[in-house]
Structures are given as C-alpha cells and as structure tokens.
Structure 1
Amino acid sequence: MKKIVILILILVINIGYTQDKKDTKVLEKLKDTENLFSHEDSTFYKKLDSVKFQFHHEVSTIDSLWINELINSPLNDTLRYSLEDDEFFISELKELPTELLKQRLEELDSKTPFNISYNPQLEQIIKSYLSKRKPVFSVIMERARFYFPMFEEHLDKYNIPLELKYLAIVESALKPTAKSRVGATGLWQFMYQTGVLYNLNISSYVDERSDPIRATEAACKYLSTLYKIYNDWDLALAAYNSGPGNVNKAIRRAGGSRNFWNIRNYLPRETAGYVPAFYATMYIFKYANEHNIKARENTITRFETDTIQIKRQITFEQINETLNVDIEILKFLNPQYKLDIIPYVKNKNYVLTLPTKHVGNFVSNEKLIYAYVDYQESKREKALPQYLEVKDQITYKVRKGDYLGRIANKYNVSVSYLKRWNNLKSNNLRIGQRLKIYSNNVNVAATSKSTSTKAKEVPKGDYNTYIVKSGDSLWTIAQKYANVSVTNIKEWNNIWSAKSLKPGTKLKIFSK
C-alpha cells in the first residue's frame, strides 16, 4: 500500500513539474481545476484564463542579481545565527530588537498597499543586510538620488505605488548596464523577448533595456498588467520575478491561497526570497538614518541633465573632444549605447543626454561639431577587402596612458574596427595587452614597430602658448588657430586624455 501511495505522489509531483512551460497553457490547466476551489476562487481563475500571455517560460523568468547571494543563505530556515557565527550580525541583533522591528514593519504596512507583516525570515534578511551591506547601500543611495525622481514620475503616471522604485534595487542594484547570467538586462532586468514585446529596441548599437526612461516605462506597463491579474502587489512582484506561470502553480499547490507568505514555499527558491528582499530594501531606505546609513555625495542629479536629438552618427570620443565632457559621464548618462556610438537611423529618435551646462554649447556649435565628425570620418580607413595578407596585420602592445581613441588615431582606423578585430566588449585596456590592427597602408605596416614605441616628433621652431580656461576642449582650442587639428594638439603636448586638460594647463601651438 505504501508503495502505491509513494508512486502516486511521485506521479503527481512529476505532473506538476512537467506542466507545459508556456504561461498560456498553465492558465488553461487552471481552468480545469475550478471545482477544487470556492466560487470566489473559480472566478479568480477564470480571470487568469482570460489573460493572453505571449511570454515564453524563460522570457518571464527574471534573474535578480541580489537574490543569487540570498539563495545560498538560510532563507527557508528560522534565524539560526549563534554568537560564534557572526559578530557583526549579533551587533545588529542588539541594535534592532525584534519588538522594535515589528513596530517599524507595522508602521510601513500601514503606509503602503503591501502585506508587510513580521516573520523571522524577513527579520533575518533585514539584519543580514544591515550587518554586511551598509557600504553597498551608501553607494546605491547615491545612485537613487539620480534615478528615483524619474522612477516616481513614471510610477505615478501608471498609478503604481511609488515604493516599487525599490524593485530596481533588488533587480540591478541601480546599474543600467547590469546583465544577469540568463541574459536579463538593465535597471529592471528584462529578458530579450520581453523587451521586444514592450517595444524596447535592441540592436548591435542600442539596447533600450539599459535606457533608464524607456525601460522604466516598460516596467510600469508590465507591473500594471500583473497587478490586474492578481489584484495583489505581493503576487505581482513574485510574478515579475519568476513569471505568472510559476505563481499560478504555487497558488494551486497551496490550495488556492493568494497570500504570498502562504504560497512562498511552493515558489522557486529565488522568488521565495525576492519579495522579502524587496521589503528589506524598503525598510533600510525608510530607516536609513536610524541605522546611520548615509548616501555618498554624487556629482550630478537628473535635474542637471537634458537631451538633444542626434542628426548624424557620433561617438562618445568625438563628443569628448568637441565638448570636453568626460567619457565616463557620457557612459553613465547614455548607457543604452553599447559601443559608445550614437547611431543615426531614419525614423529613430536617438538622443544624447548631457549635463545641462554642456547642452547650450552643443546647440550653439552643432553645425561645427557635425562638420568635425564628418572630417574625422573622412580620415577613417574604408572597408577592408575580404582577404588580408600577413603584412596587413600589425600587432600593437598597449602601453601606460594608451586608450582606444589614441591607438585608433595613430593608425588611422576607427575605434569600432579595433573593437571588432580584437573582440573587445568595452573600451577598457590593460598594459601589455596585444591588439591586432589591420591596415592596407604599407607605410603604416612597415613602420608599425617604430610608431608603437616612439611618439611622433614635435615640430621645431616658434610656437604660441595657450593657457586652458574652464569649459575649453581640444576641439574648441583647435578652432582658434588656422590649420590646427585636435590630433596636432594631442601630439605636440603629449595629451591623450581629456582628464589632462585642466584650467591653467599650458599648451604648445605650433604654426603650420
């Protein structure tokens, strides 16, 4: 008899786990089980069945970067730390007594539409964060100053609780270029197909899952859809992480319960820790002062930026040279551009985000800037033939002070070619790294050994001295002199980074 019972149990479990992975089919199976639940629950499942999801199972599964760490912690156990285990954790036990935590959680619960009730697992996560992640939260609070005002604007537009801004912390730690092990990308960690479904453009140049505004708009739409299904924000959050299919199966296995804490043990392990991690993050932000967590000071806020619609393809390097905007700032403000290139495509409105103080300079000099870009492109090497002889390849060894733009200028090729030839995913180089460079210019190939170890000779004779002023860039300085280029100034003064161009710096400008 016992063997028969065991076989039946195994069969039931296998049926549950081998259900069709597509959410639409999961919802159809729910319809067949209406007799197991009350009339109210039957209505609920009919509502689920009416929703037409177009997601793959893998598309709906979002991989939280923070939860990976939590999976390995005892989330499903009661608090099990002892005095010998973690002295930092014990200090937090003393700093935050359980009764005080209960009071604070009750206060949070009264102010939000979430089911924030005390339980030992949530206490464990909060105290673990406080003992081990205070420095991390200081960094994240700095990023939050930039992103949260924009999040709140979009959440309010869709009538979504403003507290859902903390969800982006759980998903990506507020890193717009974050990419998980399963390919989920951006602040809100969208999978490829989900991003396409919500009209996020993904191409070789652009990934709008990393565009803070476009991705936030998509996240609001998705969260709104999930809330309409469950009419419960806890379940909507769980579905955002692992997909509606997994939540629906957990509801069935919990006997029709729709309280997150009751279905938690039937959810994937990551999702079981996902909602508590969200609550823990919310708690720490709300009570940061009480726990002496201070945000680091940031250099820019979103209110200090503006956007410009681009009228031709332009690179971050060219913007850096013409406006003297640090490339790292350009990357931070424009994370959707994968190759540090803003493309120009008909009927696509690609924009450049800049600090406000540089926007006027760009608009005033737009024609000159594009003329400079055209001049730069005219010097670039044209498309190479399909075959290359051995002599066409140059091997360059990266030295201290080198960066891709400098090397590209030296060999009259483009940064994008350098990346493609060497399979580079970013602009970062390391000293001693060897780069392949292809050129049809025999002279360049023949002299590659000398040019890789010796800078171009500085002209002899009289020169003017220019003292750099605030707001200057290599390009604006070059415009002040006849027949002087940005490359000339770089070579004459051994300047290969905009960081070296500081007010008071003296530059040699030779007559040509």
Structure 2
Amino acid sequence: MCRSVLIFTLLIGLPHLSLADRGRSSTGEEALRSLGEPSIERSLERFDESLFGPRRGEIPSALTNHAPKDTPELIEAQRDLSFLEGLNLPDLPIRFDSRIVRYLESYYHEPRGRAMMRALYTRYLRYAPMIKRTLEEAGLPEDLRCVAMAESGFQKDVLSRAGAAGMWQFISSTGASLGLEQNRFIDERLDPERATEAAAAYFSGLYQRFGSWELALAGYNMGHGALLRSIQKYNTNDFWELSRLEAGLPFETSHYVAKILACAIVLRNVERFGLDEIEVDETLPQAHLIAPAGTRLPQIARAAGITVDELKKLNPQLKRDRLPPGSGHYRVRIPERAANARTRFKIERSDDERVHELRYGESLAAVAAKHGVSLAELQRMNDIARRETLLAGERIFVPNREPARLKRDESIVVAVPDGTLRFADKRRVFYRTLGGERIEEIARFFELPTDALLAWNRLDPGVPLPSGLYVQLFLPRDRTLDDAILLTEDEVTILEIGSEEFFAYHEAQRGRIRFVHKAQEGETLASIGERFGLSVGSLARINQFSRNHRLRPGDSVIVYAELDRAPQEIVQASLGKSGDENGASSALPESAGSR
C-alpha cells in the first residue's frame, strides 16, 4: 500500500486562550449562584426585564440627545449618579440615554449586576488579546467586543434555541455567507478565532450599509432587512428616535444596543466598576498546527502529546473524531507546551481513503456497494450514526479503489400520468426516491416550482414520499445531471398509467393476462371468480364493485387470470400481439362468456 509522509507545520506565539471552561468558577459566577442565578446565561436572559420590566407603556426617554462632556449633566435628586463623573469614554458613540444609565447603575451599585459583570469580565479576559487583535486588524472599534458579551456572555460553544451558535451567535445561513464552514465534521461558528474574524467582516458591512454604529448594532440583533424597513417606515435614521417610537424597534433591540454601550463604558473604566483586581483564569498557552483534511484526531493528539479530549476542548468546532474530508488543510489549536518554533511533527497517513461527494438521491448503501465495503464499515469510517441522514453535497470518506460498476436493472419501468407530456426546451428525467423526501424538497433541489412537479406526477404534497417512487422531472436541457442520481428516457420503459400496455405489463410480471368477460345469465362474482381462479374480493377490487354487486347479462367484468385459467383464444390472441413488431393493441381482449 502506498503511504506518504505529511508535515504538520506549527505556528506559535498566539494569544493565550483558555483550554476550556475547565470547571473553575470565577468569583462573579459564584456570586451569581449565591443570588439564586443558576448560570450567567440564565442571568443574561432575565437581566433586561429585571431592570426595565416587561414592555408595557412607554420606553424610558433619553436624558440628553447630545454626546456627553467629561462630566455628564445628569441630575436626578433621588439617584446617586456621581459615579458617572469623569468617565473614560469608549470608541463607540455614547449618549447617556436612561437605559444606558440604568445598566450602569446596576453594574455599579447592585449585587446582581456587579456579580454578572465580574463573571462576564473574567470570561472576556480569556479572549481579550485575540478579539482586540482581530478588531484592530479590521480597522474596527475595539469596544465591539461587547457584542460578544450581549450575545453569548463570551461563551465559545453556546447554542441558542433559535439555532444561533458560538461566541458571536451566528445562525447557519449568516455563518455560511461569512465563510464559516459547517458540516458533519466541523462548525466554525464555534471556533472563537474564525467566528471573531467573521464578526469583524459582518460589522464592516453593517457600518458601510447604515453609517452609524448604533444602527449597525441594531442590525446585528434584529437583521438589517427589518431595520431598513423600520427606518423607511418612520423616515428617520436616528437609532434613538426609532427606539422611542411605537413599534419602531423590538424591545430586545432597544435594550441590546444600550447594554452594549454600557458594557463599553465599563470596560473603559474597570477600576471604577471594581474589575481591576480580577485576574484572568488560568490559561493554556497555545499554538496552531496545520493539518491535512481528513486527519484523524487521535493522530494529531498523539503527535502533540495530549489526549483527544484535550484536543477537542481546545477545538470546539470539531464535531467528529477526524478533520473534514477534502484536499486542503485545517488550523488546529494545540498546547504551546507541545511545540516550539523548531518543532515539526512527521505523521504517516495512509492513502487508502479518498473523498466522495454525495449526489442527490444517492444512498449510503449504494455508495458502500460501489466501493466494496459494507454499510456498517462505511458508517464507521465516517462516524455516521445508524439513523443519521446525510445531505447531497456532503463529503464522506470511501476506500481508495476503483469503484465497481453496479449492474443496473435492465427492465426499469416507470408509470406516468400522461405519456404524451413533452416540452420542446426541456428533457425528461426520473428521480427515484430514497424514502422520506417531500415534494417541495425535490422541487427546491432541482430549482423547479412545486406546482409543476405536482402537475407532472400524481403525488400528495402533504406527506413524505415512500422509497422506490419515480418522480418525473422536466429540466432545462443545459442543466447538468452530475449532482443527482437520475434516469433518462433512454434508460427506462415509460408506461402511461391506466393504458392497456400498463396493465398488460404488470399482469405479465405475475404470469397473468387481463381481459373482459361478458356476464351471462345467472353468473355472479363468485362463479366468475371460481372459473378464473380469483376471489370475490379480488374481482370486486379490480372492477370497483362491492362484494354484493349483482351482475346482469352483458355486464363487462375485468378479469386477471393465470394463462392456464384464461380462455385459450384470448391467450393465443395476446401472444400473437406481443410478438407483433408494431406493439400490443390498445383493445382489451374479450371473453365470449362460454362455459
């Protein structure tokens, strides 16, 4: 077997990130628990309503519409706001809106707010160098770091109920648009470095679109499309004005921006808010290792002298026990103690595997058979659960050998509602269902209207399709067929449902012939069935009769009979027609009714 030596190159001198949340609680998190909060995540969820209550009545109005001087002119006799004197201001624009002030009061005065900010700041310190470097390189305000506080509490692997993931809480589609890879093997939304790079790119786009950081922050939270509609509806691009108007902005968004700006003030005044004595949790200095796609994690762990569990904690984006398939390389974090500037890992990797990209309609069983392995072995190679469903376009590992040419059934017969249906600019193909697909899913993949598929096929759009159906499709002639398992017209026999040819074919598969019997005086379904070897139930089903149906002389009864039970003149006539090069006649043979 051919083997090759692969070099893993190390990049060191990276920011010191935490190995993971290693079970050690910060002082802030301990304080939150003492106040009845189970976690910082639950505290974040309930914090806004604890300060402002459910959204009823008016949103608090701004204390001033002007950027503050060094000493903000905030005078309320019943509140001690002297702690706001002489604050260092962030690199985001600040208006001392009442909501911002209320957050700051909580962070400064109240046990719950102080505990939560201490816990958040402790987490932030683990990632501070990396976040600062990334934002600086993108030319963005450093205080955008507070978005990760509002989104996830600086948790790198958190998953929301809505499906948003990671420190910056990207939904799948947004993450993909920003270049974050997501598949069975990896989810880069959970990689704090890659996600922070994506967040920087996203913020750059939002600021370019809206021109103010308040609106950019609002767009990050509620979506730029919804924000733009609100701007156009109220004819204003002033965030603070929108936040006061009825239905101008969601409750969450109005307070989301205020919370981020308050956090920015706190992080610029850590001594004022009692955070200066906090030390970063014990961290594990890290290096990067560049590994070829498909490498198994135990190989990397052995080379780095660490356990697979340690490797996974450092790389929460890795979902399986190997790197994703492909021809490229991946950046993997390892402890710096496992490497130095002159270290290289030489790891042998056999070339007995290659990458296969699944086509639409391709089953794992078919892939396994094609590559000479069992389905169980293919699932083991790719860490595929027994009932797991893979999507078209996903890449899996297969044995690196010449695929076998599977013998295709030479007599594939497809039934269609209308055998004359044609389109001059399209070609007809057939998709064989694997089971569980829905018609709208098939339409979406082939970029066809669902209504068109329903018109071309007799299918119920409300239920999943069973396996073994052939869905008739009319595709543009220039569309490639390489991304799906399809049959062309040349590869199948097409029969129109209900035609004589349709019934003749299917009954011939069972050694039977179909004909019409003319009922004679005194005949019943039972007597006809006894004569031709059918039950009353079978005759009733074939003819859509009830079991108690009374026959009259001359009534036509369709019969499916085995060849030795059918009238021989009909059998001979049928055999003669089947040998006719012009094909079978469309006329249904009739029995004379003689006994």
TM-score (norm 1): 0.51
Residue number in structure 2 paired with 1:299: 282
**Residue 272 (str. 1) matches residue 249 (str. 2):** no
1:178 to 145, 151, 158: 158
1:72 to 46, 49, 55: 49
Q: CA deviation at 1:344?
A: 4.7
Residue number in structure 1 paired with 2:97: 119
Distance of 1:195 and 1:289 partners within structure 2:
36
Q: What's the secondary structure of 2:135's corresponding residue?
A: helix
Q: CA deviation at 1:205?
A: 0.4
Residue number in structure 2 paired with 1:161: 141
Q: CA deviation at 1:194?
A: 1.1
Q: CA deviation at 1:124?
A: 2.2
Distance of 2:44 and 2:230 partners within structure 1:
19
Matching of residues 295-444 of structure 1 within 5 Å: 295-300=278-283, 304-311=285-292, 313-321=294-302, 323-327=304-308, 329-346=310-327, 348-360=328-340, 363-367=343-347, 385=374, 417=383, 420=385
Decide whether the 8 Å contact of 1:187 with 1:215 is kept in 2.
yes
Q: What's the secondary structure of 1:153's corresponding residue?
A: helix
Q: CA deviation at 1:284?
A: 2.7
Q: CA deviation at 1:139?
A: 4.0
Q: What's the secondary structure of 1:350's corresponding residue?
A: strand
Decide whether the 8 Å contact of 2:91 with 2:142 is kept in 1.
no
Distance of 1:271 and 1:383 partners within structure 2:
56
**Residue 210 (str. 1) matches residue 190 (str. 2):** yes
Kindly tell me: are residues 300 and 182 of structure 1, through their superposed partners in 2, closer, same or farther at Cα, counting changes over 3 Å? same
Residue number in structure 1 paired with 2:106: 128
**Residue 195 (str. 1) matches residue 175 (str. 2):** yes
Kindly tell me: are residues 144 and 257 of structure 1, through their superposed partners in 2, closer, same or farther at Cα, counting changes over 3 Å? same
Decide whether the 8 Å contact of 1:344 with 1:350 is kept in 2.
no
Decide whether the 8 Å contact of 2:295 with 2:322 is kept in 1.
yes
Specify every segment of 5 or more residues in structure 2 that has no aligned partner in the other structure, as ranges. 1-40, 61-77, 354-370, 389-595
- The code of the aligned residue for 2:322 comes to I
Q: Percent identity?
A: 25
Kindly tell me: are residues 233 and 365 of structure 1, through their superposed partners in 2, closer, same or farther at Cα, counting changes over 3 Å? closer
- The code of the aligned residue for 2:258 comes to P
Decide whether the 8 Å contact of 1:71 with 1:273 is kept in 2.
yes
- The code of the aligned residue for 1:259 comes to D
Kindly tell me: are residues 241 and 229 of structure 1, through their superposed partners in 2, closer, same or farther at Cα, counting changes over 3 Å? same
Q: CA deviation at 1:203?
A: 0.7
Decide whether the 8 Å contact of 1:139 with 1:296 is kept in 2.
no
Matching of residues 279-298 of structure 1 within 5 Å: 279-293=261-275, 294-298=277-281
User: Could you list the per-position Cα deviations for residues 322-343 of structure 1 after superposition, in whole angstroms to 9, with x for gaps in the alignment?
Assistant: 5442555423431211235333
Q: CA deviation at 1:140?
A: 3.3
Decide whether the 8 Å contact of 1:175 with 1:186 is kept in 2.
yes
Kindly tell me: are residues 310 and 262 of structure 1, through their superposed partners in 2, closer, same or farther at Cα, counting changes over 3 Å? same
Distance of 1:121 and 1:153 partners within structure 2:
30
Matching of residues 230-245 of structure 1 within 5 Å: 230-245=210-225
Q: What's the secondary structure of 2:289's corresponding residue?
A: strand
Q: What's the secondary structure of 1:262's corresponding residue?
A: helix
Q: CA deviation at 1:216?
A: 1.9
Distance of 1:317 and 1:132 partners within structure 2:
44
Q: CA deviation at 1:213?
A: 2.5
Decide whether the 8 Å contact of 2:155 with 2:166 is kept in 1.
yes
- Structure with greater strand percent: 2
Decide whether the 8 Å contact of 2:315 with 2:332 is kept in 1.
yes
Decide whether the 8 Å contact of 1:205 with 1:343 is kept in 2.
yes
- The code of the aligned residue for 1:333 comes to L
Distance of 1:326 and 1:126 partners within structure 2:
44
Q: What's the secondary structure of 2:385's corresponding residue?
A: helix
TM-score (norm 2): 0.45
Kindly tell me: are residues 251 and 364 of structure 1, through their superposed partners in 2, closer, same or farther at Cα, counting changes over 3 Å? closer
Distance of 1:246 and 1:340 partners within structure 2:
40
Kindly tell me: are residues 258 and 144 of structure 1, through their superposed partners in 2, closer, same or farther at Cα, counting changes over 3 Å? same
Kindly tell me: are residues 387 and 355 of structure 1, through their superposed partners in 2, closer, same or farther at Cα, counting changes over 3 Å? closer
Matching of residues 40-79 of structure 1 within 5 Å: 68-70=45-47, 72-73=49-50, 74=52
Specify every segment of 5 or more residues in structure 1 that has no aligned partner in the other structure, as ranges. 1-63, 80-95, 375-381, 389-412, 424-512
Decide whether the 8 Å contact of 1:102 with 1:118 is kept in 2.
no
Higher Rg of the two aligned structures: 2
- The code of the aligned residue for 1:264 comes to S
Decide whether the 8 Å contact of 2:125 with 2:280 is kept in 1.
no
Q: What's the secondary structure of 2:288's corresponding residue?
A: strand
- The code of the aligned residue for 1:201 comes to E
Q: CA deviation at 1:267?
A: 0.5
- The code of the aligned residue for 2:236 comes to S
Q: CA deviation at 1:359?
A: 2.3
Kindly tell me: are residues 102 and 239 of structure 1, through their superposed partners in 2, closer, same or farther at Cα, counting changes over 3 Å? same
Q: What's the secondary structure of 2:81's corresponding residue?
A: helix
Distance of 2:49 and 2:195 partners within structure 1:
29
Distance of 2:218 and 2:43 partners within structure 1:
15
Distance of 1:138 and 1:71 partners within structure 2:
17
- The code of the aligned residue for 1:231 comes to G
Decide whether the 8 Å contact of 2:92 with 2:143 is kept in 1.
no
Q: CA deviation at 1:280?
A: 2.2
Distance of 2:255 and 2:99 partners within structure 1:
9
Kindly tell me: are residues 129 and 364 of structure 1, through their superposed partners in 2, closer, same or farther at Cα, counting changes over 3 Å? same
Kindly tell me: are residues 135 and 416 of structure 1, through their superposed partners in 2, closer, same or farther at Cα, counting changes over 3 Å? farther
Q: What's the secondary structure of 2:203's corresponding residue?
A: helix
Distance of 1:146 and 1:360 partners within structure 2:
22
Distance of 1:355 and 1:136 partners within structure 2:
30
Decide whether the 8 Å contact of 1:71 with 1:269 is kept in 2.
no
Q: What's the secondary structure of 2:316's corresponding residue?
A: coil
What do you get for the CA RMSD once the two structures are aligned?
A: 3.7
- The code of the aligned residue for 1:251 comes to I
- The code of the aligned residue for 2:290 comes to Q
- The code of the aligned residue for 1:99 comes to L
User: Could you list the per-position Cα deviations for residues 25-48 of structure 1 after superposition, in whole angstroms to 9, with x for gaps in the alignment?
Assistant: xxxxxxxxxxxxxxxxxxxxxxxx
Kindly tell me: are residues 340 and 162 of structure 1, through their superposed partners in 2, closer, same or farther at Cα, counting changes over 3 Å? farther
Q: CA deviation at 1:188?
A: 1.4
Distance of 1:316 and 1:136 partners within structure 2:
36
Decide whether the 8 Å contact of 1:195 with 1:209 is kept in 2.
yes
Decide whether the 8 Å contact of 2:221 with 2:253 is kept in 1.
yes
Q: What's the secondary structure of 1:181's corresponding residue?
A: coil
Q: What's the secondary structure of 1:295's corresponding residue?
A: coil
User: Could you list the per-position Cα deviations for residues 457-508 of structure 1 after superposition, in whole angstroms to 9, with x for gaps in the alignment?
Assistant: xxxxxxxxxxxxxxxxxxxxxxxxxxxxxxxxxxxxxxxxxxxxxxxxxxxx
- The code of the aligned residue for 1:216 comes to T
Decide whether the 8 Å contact of 2:92 with 2:261 is kept in 1.
no
Q: What's the secondary structure of 1:167's corresponding residue?
A: helix
Q: CA deviation at 1:104?
A: 4.9
Q: CA deviation at 1:135?
A: 4.0
User: Aligned pair count?
Assistant: 302
Distance of 1:161 and 1:387 partners within structure 2:
52
- The code of the aligned residue for 1:309 comes to I
1:258 to 234, 237, 244: 237
Q: CA deviation at 1:274?
A: 0.7
Q: CA deviation at 1:270?
A: 1.4
Q: What's the secondary structure of 2:329's corresponding residue?
A: coil
Q: What's the secondary structure of 1:367's corresponding residue?
A: strand
